[in-house]
Amino acid sequence: MTSDKVLSGAVIDETMLTLEELARACAVEPHWVEMRVEAGLLECGSGVASQWRFASAQLVRARRMVALERDFDANAELAALVTDLIEEVQRLRAQLKAVGSR
């Protein structure tokens, strides 16, 4: 029996991840990441896949998409749309909090 542990946390810096590092951190194959980049669902630096670099914020996005695809059997586009909506709600809540603290 294997023990698959999921780590979670907040992004605290702008460390850049390689394709392999991002895939490993999300517990997916690099091909999964490549497909989402080619579909425009994840952002990375330009160039060939071996030179792609992902901002740490993309790790949060990718993990959320993996969870949505796995837990709800969502296709990639739906998982990305839901992730977009979650990110937008977080941005709006941050704006409301900033306005409320004035």
Q: Which domain holds residue 44?
A: 16-100
User: For the chain, what percent of residues have pLDDT higher than 70?
Assistant: 87
Q: Tokens 């091909």 correspond to what residue?
A: 31
**Tens digit of pLDDT for each residue in 65-98?**
999 999 999 999 999 999 999 999 999 999 999 9
Q: How confident is the model at residue 36 (pLDDT cuts 50, 70, 90)?
A: very high
**Assigned domain for 56 exists:** yes
Q: What is the CATH number of the domain that holds 92?
A: 1.10.1660.10
Domains in the chain, number: 1
47 phi, psi to nearest 5 deg:
110, -165
Task: Please tell me the distance from the alpha carbon of residue 57 to that of residue 50, in angstroms, as a whole number.
Answer: 20
- At 53 the three-state DSSP class reads strand
**Assigned domain for 31 exists:** yes
